[in-house]
Structure 1
Amino acid sequence: MAKGLILISGVNGYIAAVAAKYFLDRGHSVRGTVRKASSAQALIDGPLKSYAESGKFTVEEVPDITVEGAFDQAVKGVTAIAHLASPVSMTFTDPAPILHAAINGTKTILNSAHQFAGPQLKSVVVMSSIASTRPVTEPPYTISENDWNDFAEKLCEEHGTATPGPVIYSASKAAAERAFWKFQEDKKPSWSMASVNPVFVIGPSVIPPATPQQVAGTTLPIYSVFSGSTEPFPPSQIPQVVDVRDVAELILYAIEHPDKTNGERYIASSGVSNAQAFRDILREEFSDEVSRKRIAEGEKGKGYSADYQEVEDKETAYVVDSRKARKVLERGEWISLKKSVVDTARGFVGLV
């Protein structure tokens, strides 16, 4: 039986490209948006070639997602929307353009959907982040879908261009998700709305990076360890990670079950990690002499639990409650941290 047509904004992105293949492999058609058509060429010529040739995967240019009406054409006839296009970086220096892009990109696609998608539209899912749920409460604290980030936007207002990059990113995710839910409250659309809020996303890219500069931001720590760096990771109070393939599955679950997911948020988190966990996993998997000489040994087993669910110092880190999302996964379990790390590193073999 033929399935629906899913619109994915920013389809050339790391998570979005994986999601596109995941949806296509499961019988859906996908219409992806990109700023420039050339941005999707690697997908069309590569992993999605057969789908492009059959017409199940198509691409539309949306040069500026913040312009009202930008998605008017793209939303027509779709049965679901996965809004995944949003600025992603921990090195932002000016909150104003980032917040503008995140908030208005969300509003424009929702407004277009409301006016032009048609009655066949059943669900809209937004890619949010754990950053929009992190509360002002200091750790130790367990974060759940009931929590909201209430401080990042205020810090941006107070500090402007002096705001740290991670705070700007957090503010953009929180503000965009608030706009998403405000739209539902105000417009009461006939279609369902849900958000997926992942922690740091790792796992293999659909197209392995050709250069270190192409490595997806949240997988850089794995590349760093795999390539032999011994530099410490930047400090983070959110050490949790999740596999990109699990994120894709959650998005599709929300799309395929609008009656169960309307109004819901789903935190995606499979376990905790640190540089030593990556070293131990990679040295065990890539046991040839060259790899073991390159990958620093460090202090085996230090800083994390054997099941990758806890950090050594529980008093300085947040716990993330992801039970709600785990229950709806097809396997009932997250992809293991070991598999995620190994599969990610296999995409880096040609770079080291």
Structure 2
Amino acid sequence: MEVTRQYQTVLVTGANGFYAAAIMDRLVKDGITIHGTVRSQRAVEALETKYGKQIKIFIVPDICAENAFHDAVKGVDAVFHVASPFIDTFSNARAEFLDPAMKGALSALEAAATEPKVKRVVMTSSCAAIVNPLHSSGFHRPGYTYTEADWNPLTYEEASERTDFDPVYTASKKLAEEAAWNFMKESKRHFDLVCINPCHTWGFYTQPVSSASQLNKTNAELARLIDGEEKDLPYCHMPWAVRIENVVDAHIQALYNPKANGRYIIANQPLDFQQIVDIMVKRFPEADWLENVPKGKPGTRQLTEFFSLDNSRSIRDLGLNYGPVEQCIVDFCTQYQVDRKKWASKTA
């Protein structure tokens, strides 16, 4: 699709994250100038070195703070709100997960409302905002097909009382996106909103990374397998996968395509950890790290019954061509097997 040249300068929140970095790479190739936000000065140098004059960095320590993005949004034509809290452990669901997700989304939209040039906001949501983590048949809800019309039913009050990860994390995604749509309904805005809802995402990483500990959560799962940190196959929370390139395509087309609207499930095919290690064995038979990887029960499925995700809107409206799902695993392993040796040599 031809680039819509009405977008010359774009704000990207969470600019040093997995999704944001890949999105910015595409924007830069299209000649777009980026206003990027990061939480601390430590992230600035790597981004300025990589993008040069095509990026202007704004340090936003707290995305929930009043007027957090108001300086960064000045002069931009569109906003990618990608930043969102993610923590493995928490003691207070409301303070550490739910409120930051909701307030961060509203902060980005409130900033967009102050800049007359903004035409569109593309928000990174998640399939977690769509699925029901507490369904009576279990999280994997066999036989059900989720569409964009579905919403995670957890309320703020219910999620606030939880201490287990899945309900709280998924609720944070639902509540943030819900807050964004409510903001759009409250008053007529001079911009529109499109939400991208990816499932489990793997593949090449382009954000600044100098150790496995700096990888994003999903890719870190694969790194743990390669590094021998998993004795058995990990539990499969999300039984669907997608390649990072597909997620980037969705964001970019959500910006460029004037007909894009509403929410979009971004999902390729089912993929569990048994299939993943089978791909590793098949595609990297000579890899020195393969002996570290637990093999499970080759040729079987870790999960045999689970929900479906309807990705037809993303294909029809955004023109996504997903390709073979195994490529996301091949991409990561190809990059990581080189990087892990490089990082090890620097610490030797």
TM-score bracket for this pair, using the shorter chain length: 0.7 to 0.9
What residue identity is the alignment partner of 2:193?
M
**Alpha-carbon offset, residue 288 of structure 1:** 1.3
The farther-off stretch of 279-288 and 219-228 is: 219-228
Q: 2:233 touches 2:274 (CA, 8 Å); kept in 1?
A: no
Q: Secondary structure at the match of 2:241?
A: strand
1:10–1:34 Cα contact (<8 Å) kept:
yes
Secondary structure of the residue aligned to 2:47 is helix
* CA deviation vs aligned residue, 1:212-247 (integer Å, no higher than 9, x gap): 2122111223223323433231242x3111112211
Q: Is the 8 A contact 1:196 1:266 kept in 2?
A: yes
- Aligned equivalent of 1:110: 109
Offset of residue 346 of structure 1: 2.0
Q: Deviations over 1:144-163 (max 9, x none)?
A: 1000011263432334xxx2
Structure 1 contact 192–261 (Cα < 8 Å) conserved: no
Letter of the 1:253 partner, please give it.
Answer: Q
Task: Kindly report structure 1 stretches of 4+ aligned residues shifted beyond 4 Å.
Answer: none
Match of 1:284 among 268, 282, 285: 282
Decide whether aligned partners of structure 1 residues 199 and 42 sit closer, same or farther in structure 2, where only a CA change above 3 A counts.
Answer: same
Name whichever of 219-228 and 198-207 sits farther off.
219-228
* Secondary structure of the structure 1 residue equivalent to 2:106: helix
1:192-225 Cα distance to aligned partner (Å, 9 max, x none): 1110011111111104743221221112232233
* AA at the equivalent of 1:79: D
* 1:90 CA displacement: 4.2
Pick the aligned partner of 2:123 from 123, 126, 137. 126
The residue number in structure 2 matching 1:340 is 328
Three-state SS of the structure 2 residue aligned to 1:81 is strand
Match of 1:17 among 4, 16, 21: 21
Two-structure CA RMSD over aligned residues (Å): 2.1
Q: Secondary structure at 2:326's aligned position in 1?
A: helix
Aligned mates of 2:82, 2:164 — CA distance in 1: 23
Matched, 1:151 2:154: yes
Pairing of 1:126-205 with structure 2 (within 5 A): 126-135=123-132, 137=135, 138=137, 139-140=141-142, 141-151=144-154, 153-159=156-162, 163-205=163-205
- What is the aligned-residue identity percentage? 27
Aligned to 1:324: 313
Q: Return the TM-score normalized by structure 2.
A: 0.87
CA distance in 2, matches of 1:19, 1:157: 32
State the match for 1:36 in structure 2: 40
Distance 1:235 1:246, change over 3 A: closer
Residue 148 of structure 1 aligns to which amino acid in structure 2? W
Counterpart CA distance in 2 for 1:95 and 1:289 is 41
How many residue pairs end up in the alignment? Answer: 328
Tell me how far 1:328 sits from its aligned partner: 4.0
**C-alpha separation between the residues in 1 aligned to 2:330 and 2:236?**
23
Distance in 1, Cα, partners of 2:331 & 2:236 = 25
C-alpha displacement of 1:341: 0.4
Are the equivalent residues in 1 in contact too, given 2:233–2:294 (CA < 8 A)? no
Amino acid at match of 2:121: V
Q: What is residue 307 of structure 1 aligned with on the other side?
A: none
The alpha-carbon distance between structure 1 residues 79 and 289, as it changes in their structure 2 partners (threshold 3 A), is closer
Which runs of structure 2 are paired with 1:222-233 in the superposition (5 Å)? 222-228=222-228, 229-233=230-234
Distance 1:103 1:328, change over 3 A: same
Number of the residue aligned with 1:308:
none
TM norm structure 1: 0.86
Alpha carbons 2:226, 2:290 under 8 Å: kept: no
Measure how far apart 1:93 and its partner are: 3.2
Query: Any stretches of 5+ residues in structure 1 without a counterpart?
Result: 305-310
Q: Is the 2:259–2:317 contact (alpha carbons within 8 Å) kept by the matching residues of 1? A: no
- Superimposed CA distance per residue, residues 84-126 of structure 1 (whole angstroms, 9 cap, x where no aligned partner): 11102343332122212111111122112112x12x2110011
Change (3 A) 1:152 1:351: farther
